[in-house]
Amino acid sequence: MKNTKRNVLLAQSGGPTAVINASIVGAFERSIASSDIDRVYGAKNGIVGVLQEELIDLTAQKRETMEGLKYTPSSGLGSCRYKLDKDIHTPDYKRIFDVFDAHNIGYFFYNGGNDSMDTALKLSQYAKEIGYPINIMGIPKTVDNDLCGTDHCPGFGSAAKYINTTLVELSYDINVYTAGTVLLFEAMGRHAGWLTASAALSSLEIYDGIVLTYLPEVPFEREVFLSQIEDAYRKHKQVIVVASEGIKDKDGELIAAQEGKVDQFGHKQLGGVCIQLKQIIEENITKRAKLIIPDLIQRSAAHYSSSTDMNEAYWMGYKAVDYALEGKTAFMPGIERLSNNPYVWEPKLVPLEDVANHEKEFPTEWITPEGNFVTKEAIDYVRPLIEGNVSIPERNGLPRYHKLDKTLMPKRLDDYEVE
């Protein structure tokens, strides 16, 4: 349904990325250019902010702030990891639409990963059931690159660029010594090894040695791992091991799962797989094992983000509004790759039901028979996504990032407790 002079509400959810705010800026700029839209609001801390009616008037922000937000890492509006009940007749749904109605919201955009697309889909289903006139769209993001329906996800390219740059620089560091070194680097990726696989690019530029990758898609076997590292250490002296945080054994058990600890979605919390791998190597191969756990650093390193990634993130936000203005709802904009070299892509429309609660794993046909590296097809896939540098504004020699004025709009409803 096409709405006339109604308001837009933008929200972010899940883990941050280096370019997630570029999507918000893209959606904002397309919205304020439309004669069908009155104001553009932001929800503080995702769907939790909607439930608590904590809304920010983005239209009233300083122009400098909104322009600078594009180059600012992490989630400018704030994030959450709140999962709506499967039953759309629970109180949260009515509350969300009471907030929408109180603030004349005709367009809602949720910028996030798998669980965020699930939220957007459920809200679309509820809107249809009650006949509420609203267009709801997802906007993709995740460094894990595991969303279905799109060639890749905004956020992945910049994280991959940072990881590969770091590995190249580390290779120069460890090669100053005469003794050999095994360097262990832990990459994000609970179920999908896209970031770990991307590290293969660094093998083209490292000072010397070899890069080996261990993905969740390949069952981890201790003895096979030891044999491969020992052989590589003997032949190359310098060995860089990149392992996904979510590697698991043949029974599907996570190597680094913390006993009894789960997150808000019931996922087992991971405890540092490379700490365990380092111990195995020190006990069996060499004491010169170095540990690198970048953790959060790899996902919000805007100072070395990819211009390809930032540009695509912006256009995903822009096209989400475009599609909504055409009357689309319960969709997500995605990326259709047309060519690797030269790299060419175009936006496409993806039904949320094809994205929500699905996970795109790394293709097993792109993994070498040994299970510890990837094929040329994988390298060709990643290469264009890390290209180009972003010129980050500076102040006092440091990045000049921007914070939104999060002064909340006056509430029109009673308070609501979020469990």
Exposed, middle or buried by CB within 10 Å (0-12, 13-18, 19+), for 284? Answer: exposed
Residue among 115, 144, 309, 322 flagged as catalytic: 144
> For tokens 């590589």, what's the residue?
232
Evaluate whether 175 touches 205 at the Cβ level (below 8 Å). no
Q: Which residues of 43-82 are buried (b: 16+ CB within 10 A; e: fewer)?
A: bbbbbbbbbbbbbbbbbebeeeebebbbbbbbbbbbbbbb
Judge whether 144 counts as a catalytic residue.
yes
Neighbours of 359 (CB within 10 A): 14
Is the separation of the CB atoms in 199 and 163 below 8 Å? yes
Quote the tokens at residue 256.
């680094």
What is the 3-state secondary structure of 310-343?
HHHHHHHHHHHHHHHHCCCCCEEEEEEEEECCCC
List active site positions: 144
